[in-house]
Structure 1
Amino acid sequence: MTSKNKVKVSKLTEFHQLKLLTKDTPYDTRYISDPDVNRPALQLAGFFDCFDQGRVQVIGTVEHMYLQQLDKKERLERLEKFFSYTEIPCVVVSKIVKEVTDILMIAQKYNVPVFQTGLGASQIMAEIIRWLNVELGPNISIHGVLVDIYGEGILITGDSGVGKSETALELVRRGHRLVADDAVEIKRVSGTTLVGTAPEVLRHFIEVRGIGIVNIKELFGIEAVKQTKEISLVIQLETWDKDKQYDRLGLENEYTEILGLQVVTHRIPIRPGRNLAIICETAAVNYRQKLMGYNAAEELNKRVMDNLQKNMRENKI
């Protein structure tokens, strides 16, 4: 099932190495739940309609210069109004902002933590938004295996016992990298991107029926594992059904919906003698070829149609 996340302000400050300016303001229990960031220029000018106080607020050169042009009384009134919105998780001032005495005085009054960054306002906004999109993205846990094959994140799914872990083990032996086995935690980090990882307790472990639990990192080395990977393709393993029709040309894509995004999917029927690792490798390379503009199925179809038209012309003659 999906969930809406929140992240501690303390985690944000640690990751981005922000310096706390309001020394006496606790922030261990403050959380961020909105991945967007706000520059409060309009709010400091007195316009608070549609003000989303749940976002991280970034004060840069423009906001600072505007405040400095106001007389002290008006400046304090504007800051008082701004910081009275106590749901603000934190305020970050850019490296260029030097005079922050008034900001800190009012912020401490309302217990809103203020931090300073070593980056410019636009830079820190971009970094915070990117980071928050990953931390706060909707997530889901899927039963399957995620492997990095030739740089493509391949999510292998299927019923329990169909051979997902054994396929992943063979792929690791062939030089590819394991991301997750059994449970894959997937986050939607943008409007087009899904990223998968393993639960921390299961990371680097794989279960092989008849052998037991294997630590891939210890057995094959650090180069055989990867922490996270963007999901490019889903391969669904299923037991062969002689009465079922399987795609033999690949002219039309099948898709699996994950967190609202459509991911290209191949259904691979399992029969004795099929080398699933090679099939997965071929699927990964074929997927990359299609991204680069070459589609083997369309090329074959074009050749067949051209040949048919040629034969028709010759028969008319």
Structure 2
Amino acid sequence: MPPTPKIKRPSSVTVEEFFRVNEKSLKLKLVGSDVGFARKISEPSVNRPGLALSGFFTYFAYKRVQVIGNSEHSFLEGLDPKLRAARFSQLCSWDIPCLVIARSHRIGDELIEIANSAGISVFQTNMMTMKFLNTATIKLEWAFAPNMLVHGCLVDVQGIGVLIQGDSGCGKSESVIGLLQRGGSLVADDAVRLRLVEDREVVGSAPDITRGMIEIRGLGILNVAAIFGVSAVRLSKRLDLIVELVRGAKTEDLERVSASADSHDIMGMKIGRVTLPVEPGRDVAGLIELAAINFKLRTFGYDSAVEFDQRLLKKMTDEQLG
């Protein structure tokens, strides 16, 4: 098994990264200056600054993205212009990352100018406030999730996320082609970005530059969607099983029959692992598919190795009893 790569744990995300990555999904539009793009979001959540606008700053979550929804906008509109400017200036005096105005509401140019003068960028979205809060929180948790970059190919095989690993030249990409011909979907080839989501599952995806692409020796870079159809590509997939391809002398140490299920630790999560020997003439893609199906059976409570042991024990018992 390749050595475990270093785990990255992001402590912050810049406002520019948050905007560029989520501009379309969160329907964000810059209505002020980009003066605050270098500011950092230090907590993977969002905050509605209603109490802060009323002058109460105790326990103010200033490290989060600040969202002005219906109630905050209505409160500001009901204030005297001078008091409104004073309260907004007080809010912007804190080191907040950025401001997002929900439901396509508009705030006065004077308030935008106050924010820009304080080095804070202002965005607008037409999303409902609660929908934006939920979606933005998910996006931020994804950005802040512990992650690592591993070498291998991640494929969706009958709903099972299979990470294929092995030495260079052992046939990983060729096996993926065989799985795609059997109806599988490619998530990532060669480099796989793994993220620990909510401390409960590991999700894999491809770097932007290689998404939907696969490299085959002798053929070069191939566009999977163009050859196999768009259904043959997935943006992300939960990691369920690791298949390590080995060849040569390494295959001599493999057990022919084993009732124990092997596993590998990925960022604190136990991931099932299968080691498959690679030899000329072996249908490696078919074996990987069988490994995925067998893993699925185990999740349903059926284990072929356990059943074999039970049969063997029964036969031995029957023979002893005559």
State TM-score, norm by structure 1.
0.78
Question: What is aligned with 1:185?
Answer: 193
Q: In structure 2, do the counterparts of structure 1 residues 61 and 216 end up closer, same or farther at CA, with 3 Å as the change threshold?
A: closer
Q: 1:153 and 2:155 equivalent?
A: no
Residue type of the partner of 2:26? H
Question: How far apart in 1 are the matches of 2:116 and 2:223?
Answer: 50
Cα deviation digits, residues 148-190 of structure 1 (max 9, x gap): 2112221101112222122112222323222322222333343
1:265–1:46: structure 2 CA closer, same or farther, 3 Å change rule?
farther
Identity %: 33
**Which residue number corresponds to residue 215 of structure 1?**
222
| Equivalent AA in structure 2 for residue 79 of structure 1 | F
1:267 paired residue number = 275
Distance 2:251 2:26 in 1: 56
- 1:50-61 equivalences under 5 Å are 50-61=59-70
SS in 1 for 2:253: coil
Within the alignment, does 1:84 sit opposite 2:93 as a pair? yes
Q: Aligned AA for 2:125?
A: T
TM-score, normalised with respect to structure 2? 0.77
Q: What do you get for the CA RMSD once the two structures are aligned?
A: 3.6
Is residue 128 of structure 2 the alignment partner of residue 120 of structure 1? yes
Q: Is the 8 A contact 1:234 1:256 kept in 2?
A: no
Q: Secondary structure at the match of 2:164?
A: strand
Distance in 1 (CA, whole Å) between partners of 2:256 and 2:52 is 58
Q: Which has the higher mean CA deviation after the structures are superposed, 54-63 or 69-78?
A: 69-78
Could you tell me which runs of 5 or more consecutive residues in structure 1 were left unpaired when the two chains were aligned.
Answer: none
Whether 1:6 aligns to 2:5 is: no
1:132 aligned counterpart, secondary structure = helix
Matches within 5 A, 1:159-238: 159-209=167-217, 211-217=218-224, 218-238=226-246
1:15 partner SS? coil
Structure 1 contact 10–27 (Cα < 8 Å) conserved: no
Report how many aligned residue pairs link the two structures. 310
Alpha-carbon shift at residue 124 of structure 1 (Å): 0.6
Distance in 1 between residues matched to 2:251 and 2:70, nearest whole Å = 69
Q: Give the partner amino acid of 2:147.
A: N
* Residues 20 and 170 (structure 1), Cα distance of their counterparts in 2 relative to 1, 3 Å cut: closer
Separation (CA, whole Å) in 2 of partners of 1:179 and 1:225: 6
Alpha carbons of 1:14 and 1:245: their partners in 2 closer, same or farther (altered >3 Å)? closer
Does the C-alpha gap of structure 1 residues 101 and 229 become closer, same or farther in structure 2, counting only changes over 3 Å? same
Identify the residue that residue 3 of structure 2 maps to in structure 1.
none
Alpha-carbon distance between aligned partners in 2 of 1:173 and 1:309, rounded to the nearest angstrom: 44
Partners of 1:93 and 1:31 in 2: how far apart? 19
1:94 counterpart = 2:97: no
Greater shift, 276-285 or 45-54, is seen at: 45-54
User: Letter of the aligned partner of 2:91 in structure 1?
Assistant: F
Structure-2 separation of matches of 1:98 and 1:206: 46
What stretches of structure 2 of length at least 5 have no aligned partner? 1-5
* Distance in 2, Cα, partners of 1:265 & 1:42: 51
Q: Which residue is 2:25 aligned to?
A: 15
Taking the aligned partners of 1:299 and 1:66, their CA distance within structure 2 comes to 68
Q: Matched residue of 1:278: which SS?
A: helix
Please give the alpha-carbon distance, in whole angstroms, between the structure 2 residues aligned to 1:290 and 1:72.
66
